[in-house]
Amino acid sequence: MKVGSSSISGENVGQIAPLVDALAAAHGRGTEVILVSSGAIATGIPFLNLDARPTDLATQQAAAAVGQNLLIYRYQDSLRRYKIVAGQVLLTAGDLENPTHRGNAQRAMERLLDLRILPIVNENDTVATHEIRFGDNDRLAALVSQLVQADVLILLSDIDALYTLPPSEPGAVRITEVPFSDDLANVKFGDIGAAGVGTGGAGTKVAAAKLAAASGISVLLASTGDVAAALSGEQVGTWFEAATP
């Protein structure tokens, strides 16, 4: 499961608790869950006395160093209610391209799951550079789902589904299911996420969904507010069919 910066930072920091409630319920049913969470930079910004997301790499890295610590603390503080322990996994794109590092990451996450620890994954923003970044955490989530051969990838957003147009535009129609062969050529993508906080949008989520689906992993795009329903198997959001073998 992947959650974006705009859903769990700033004025939406209160959404961490219900997100944890849903994750804990799934964990209690025996489901193995990995959370890919953005939000390190966004969480660190207020503590650096900045009013907006920094544009230079060094300040982004400084914000990430401060914010990642606070972000994991907030998750663990909420998980403590359920006696669930979080395990932090920070990755760069190079880690998943290097066979040795990739194997180490895979074994570490599999062992965390065996131990009933909840892995919380994020890009290692403190050391990543523009040249070795994933680009966005939607892509990271798709690559992690491939790494662990996940059954399903859930991409959480601040809208409830994919639409034919940005949902604020007249005539936007909700899309409930996307066959693997559908290239969505008639869909006009807009941004998903609060301006200045998140880096992804509808286009990045669709690209990530297609990447995971090509590996046989079904994908659900849903609202962060619908996370409990999504993990319970209710019909919410937009379902991307996986490629058939």
158 is in an annotated binding site: yes
Residue type for position 98:
N
Long-range contacts of 187-194 (CB under 8 A, 24+ apart): 187/162, 187/163, 188/164, 190/165, 190/166, 191/166, 192/4, 192/157, 192/158, 192/159, 193/4, 193/5, 193/6, 193/157, 193/158, 194/5, 194/6, 194/10, 194/158
168 is in an annotated binding site: no
210 is in an annotated binding site: no
Distance between alpha carbon 105 and the CA centroid of its chain, in Å? 17
Strand, coil or helix: 195: coil
Give the residue among 125, 130, 121, 129 at the shortest CA–CA distance from 41: 125
Q: Determine whether 51 is exposed, middle or buried from the number of CB atoms within 10 Å of its CB (0-12, 13-18, 19+).
A: exposed
Distance CA 175, CA 54 (A): 35
137 is in an annotated binding site: yes
Instruction: Determine the angle formed by the axes of helices 57-79 and 16-28, rounding to 10 degrees.
Output: 50
226 is in an annotated binding site: no
136 is in an annotated binding site: no
- Which amino acids are annotated as binding site, given as ranges? 2, 38, 125, 137, 157-158
Please give the annotated binding residues for ATP, written as ranges.
2, 157-158
Annotated binding site for substrate: 38, 125, 137
